[in-house]
Structure 1
Amino acid sequence: MRRTSFAGWPCSIARTMDLLGDWWTPLVLREAFYGITRFDGFQQELGIARTTLAERLRRLVDAGLMEKRAYQTEPVRHDYVLTEMGRDFFGVLAAMNAWGNRWLSGEAGAPVVFEHERCGHHSEAAVVCADCGEPMTAADTRPRMGPGYPKRLAERPDIRERFTR
């Protein structure tokens, strides 16, 4: 069954979800941040079916988040290494981890915390304004049309209303 594609939607959240596609893809990226680079390592850590893993890795390579680097020629075997685009996804995973630690941790506490090597403290992701440094919350942040929003949609009254609430 073919799923709906959000790749053409004028929304970066929808486009990102179109790229991720399912729950396995962010977990593959998580393992890459943990230092896993080999197919068998991903498969062992995640317990994912080999065919599913092969598809997720192919999708990540095709999208530019990972690249394949041969480490053996007979037979050919590859490492899967994060690209700059892939490394930049860390903020998304860190935000998910912070949210999960706050809302889904049991009585024992957070299952995974991040240590910031520069200062040596355990910390978590925080969404802050890149201009003023203040926290951004749903209560004080509004979506607005960016320069890439399609003009044909921007002219629709329902769309204009959506971005002026």
Structure 2
Amino acid sequence: MLSAKDVKYRFEADSVGRAVALVGERWSLLILRETYFGVRRYAEFARNLSIPRPTLSARLRTLVDAGLLDRVRYATDPDRHEYRLTQAGRELFSAIVVLMRWGDKYLAGPDGPPLLLRHIDCGEIAESYVACRQCGGEITMETVTPEPGPAFREEEA
């Protein structure tokens, strides 16, 4: 049996908690999803998502402040901006795909998933999974074990 001290490192600098605090609410995830499929402008987000405009403005500001999106002027008019994914924002794509895959498996209606992803390289419908970059093996809860990382600090006496 693990003691509280043995697992404390999981909660010291909890990356999952910090990520969920940033992008874990519905509108932020949906805004990111839209950016992955080419939406960049405020009016397009508002139209595609039917999101209240004050909520959209607040979420876009949060995603820009967090470094997931860049706000870039696209016309000479200073009020014409679009939102482009940063490297950090692009790297969240795989997390969104994993959520999508789970939703397709457990929440899709009788007609199946509403959206499929076709892999450009092979032309087939993508069937994603989380894999180890070192060996290529699938990562599941049975194939990994947590251990202290570089930010882990022993409890001071």
TM range (shorter): 0.7 to 0.9
Q: Whole-Å Cα distance in 2 between the matches of residues 71 and 133 of structure 1? A: 41
Provide structure 2 residue ranges, at least 5 long, that are not aligned to the other structure.
1-10
Partner of 2:148: 145
The number of residue pairs the alignment matches comes to 146
List structure 1 runs of 4+ shifted beyond 3 angstroms: none
Runs of 5+ unmatched residues, structure 1 = 1-7, 157-165
The residue aligned with 1:120 is 123
TM-score normalised to structure 2 length: 0.87
The answer on 1:62 being equivalent to 2:65 is yes
- Tell me which residue corresponds to 1:41: 44
Map 1:81-120 onto structure 2 (within 5 A): 81-120=84-123
Distance 1:9 1:18 in 2: 15
Identical aligned residues as a percent: 38
Describe the superposition over 1:18-71 as per-residue Cα deviations: whole angstroms up to 9, x where unpaired: 111511101000000111100000000000010100011001111111101111
User: What is the deviation of 1:124?
Assistant: 2.7
Aligned to 1:74: 77
Question: Once superposed, what is the RMSD of the aligned Cα atoms?
Answer: 1.7
Corresponding position: 1:51 with 2:59? no
**Is 1:155 aligned to 2:138, yes or no?**
no
CA gap 1:74/1:119 in 2 versus in 1, 3 angstroms: same
Counterpart amino acid of residue 18 in structure 1: A
Tell me the equivalent position of 1:11: 14
Higher relative contact order (Cα pairs below 8 Å, separated by 6+ residues): 2
Q: CA deviation at 1:15?
A: 1.0
Q: Which string of whole-angstrom CA distances, capped at 9 and with x for unpartnered residues, describes residues 83-139 of structure 1? A: 111111110111111111111112211211111101111013201111111111112
- Distance in 2 between the 1:25 and 1:16 partners? 11
Aligned in 2, Cα 1:45/1:109: closer, same or farther, shift over 3 Å? same
Does the CA contact (< 8 Å) of 1:113 and 1:124 recur in 2? no
